[in-house]
């Protein structure tokens, strides 16, 4: 491990450790467990259902950027890539994306282009959800709608840059995959992925907590924006909670203890659900392999 990565790892450990220590001191894990116990089984299954739907939508989105069309394999790609990105530092989980596609015989140019396109639209989709939520909160509905429609067009900066790449495989990919209709679908599916995921977060919050769907969407979008930071906590612990709780505290004047309890609850739900889907996918594919 080089010096830069070691420094990043140390900072990540410090962030996570500091958060856990401060969380216990000022809020308490006992209070978190009391909050957790207030979640009904019905609530959890509804939340998990929407979280699972977000995976299905994300899986379907790959079909617009890859020639690989077998849904089960694309779902495996989604689950593995998401899980490893959550638990591994420095975005090294992205390696799983290229590894799985290489095993399926996908050319490195196609996998790289697919990766770049989906990651750019992840960013644009998240920006769109955040901008729409924030501007609506501020009372600028017209501006919110305009931003939602205009944000995806920034992707054409990437298309402009690609014109300078003369590689035949890249040119062929651009002609085949970067049509306007294709890009529109990818953008809308990216937005839908975030909406479904954030809806899951809304349903996992105990009904006794007075928080609206709109507040959850904005808080979740803010929290997800922290994932693009160059340095964040181990598995996002500390930075994710700060983004989620911070928006609830500063935008909606929600009690800081409640805000941080909800942020930790949502993040725990993400870690648990992504791990559950990862284990399920491993078992499912091992079962398929044993039948063949």
| pLDDT tens across the length of the chain (292 residues) | 567 667 777 888 888 899 999 999 999 999 999 999 999 999 999 999 999 999 999 999 999 999 998 999 999 999 999 999 888 776 777 888 999 999 999 999 999 999 999 999 999 999 999 999 999 988 999 999 999 999 999 998 988 888 888 888 888 888 888 999 999 999 999 999 999 999 999 999 998 898 999 899 999 999 998 887 767 778 888 999 999 999 999 999 999 999 999 999 999 999 999 999 999 999 998 888 787 6
Distances (CA, A) of 44 to 196, 242, 260, 272: 14, 23, 19, 11
**pLDDT reported for residue 153:** 93
Torsion sign over Cα 140, 215, 85, 66: negative
- Taking every pair of Cα atoms in the chain, the longest distance, rounded to a whole number of angstroms, is 60
Give the Cα separation of 125 and 122 in Å (integer). Answer: 5
**SS3 category, 89:** helix
Q: Give the residue from 194, 210, 196 showing the smallest Cα distance to 252.
A: 210
**pLDDT reported for residue 292:** 66
Q: Give the residue from 147, 134, 110, 84 showing the smallest Cα distance to 277.
A: 84
Q: What is the CA radius of gyration of the chain?
A: 20
Residues in the chain: 292
**pLDDT reported for residue 184:** 95
Q: Give the residue from 237, 191, 184 showing the smallest Cα distance to 19.
A: 237
Q: Are 111 and 97 in contact (CB under 8 A)?
A: yes
> DSSP for 13-80?
HHHHHHHHHHHHHHT-HHHHHHHHHTS-HHHHHHHHHHHHHHHHHHHHHHTTT-S---HHHHHHHHHH
Q: Are 133 and 217 in contact (CB under 8 A)?
A: yes
Q: Are 259 and 278 in contact (CB under 8 A)?
A: no
Task: Count CB atoms within 10 A of the CB of residue 95.
Answer: 13
Give the Cα separation of 224 and 236 in Å (integer). Answer: 10
């Amino acid at each position: 491990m080089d010096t830069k990565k070691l420094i990043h790892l140390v900072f990540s450990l410090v962030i996570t450790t500091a958060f856990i220590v401060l969380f216990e001191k000022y809020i308490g894990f006992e209070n978190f467990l009391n909050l957790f116990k207030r979640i009904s089984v019905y609530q959890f299954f509804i939340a998990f259902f929407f979280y699972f739907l977000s995976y299905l939508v994300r899986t379907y989105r790959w079909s617009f950027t890859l020639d690989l069309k077998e849904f089960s394999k694309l779902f495996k790609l989604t689950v593995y890539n998401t899980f490893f990105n959550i638990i591994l530092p420095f975005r090294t989980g992205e390696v799983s994306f290229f590894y799985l596609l290489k095993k399926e015989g996908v050319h490195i140019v196609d996998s790289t282009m697919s990766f770049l396109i989906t990651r750019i639209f992840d960013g644009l989709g998240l920006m769109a959800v955040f901008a729409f939520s924030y501007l609506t909160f501020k009372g600028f509905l017209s501006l919110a709608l305009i931003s939602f429609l205009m944000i995806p067009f920034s992707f054409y900066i990437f298309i402009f840059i690609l014109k300078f790449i003369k590689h035949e495989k890249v040119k062929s990919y651009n002609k085949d995959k970067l049509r306007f209709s294709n890009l529109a679908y990818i953008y809308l599916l990216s937005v839908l992925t975030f909406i479904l995921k954030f809806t899951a977060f809304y349903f996992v919050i105990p009904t006794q907590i007075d928080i609206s769907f709109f507040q959850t969407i904005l808080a979740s979008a803010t929290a997800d924006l922290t994932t693009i930071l160059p340095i964040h906590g181990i598995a996002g612990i500390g930075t994710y909670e700060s983004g989620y709780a911070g928006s609830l505290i500063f935008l909606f004047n929600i009690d800081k203890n409640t805000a941080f309890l909800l942020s930790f609850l949502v993040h725990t739900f993400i870690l648990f659900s992504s791990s559950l889907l990862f284990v399920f996918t491993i078992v499912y594919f091992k079962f398929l392999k044993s039948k063949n």
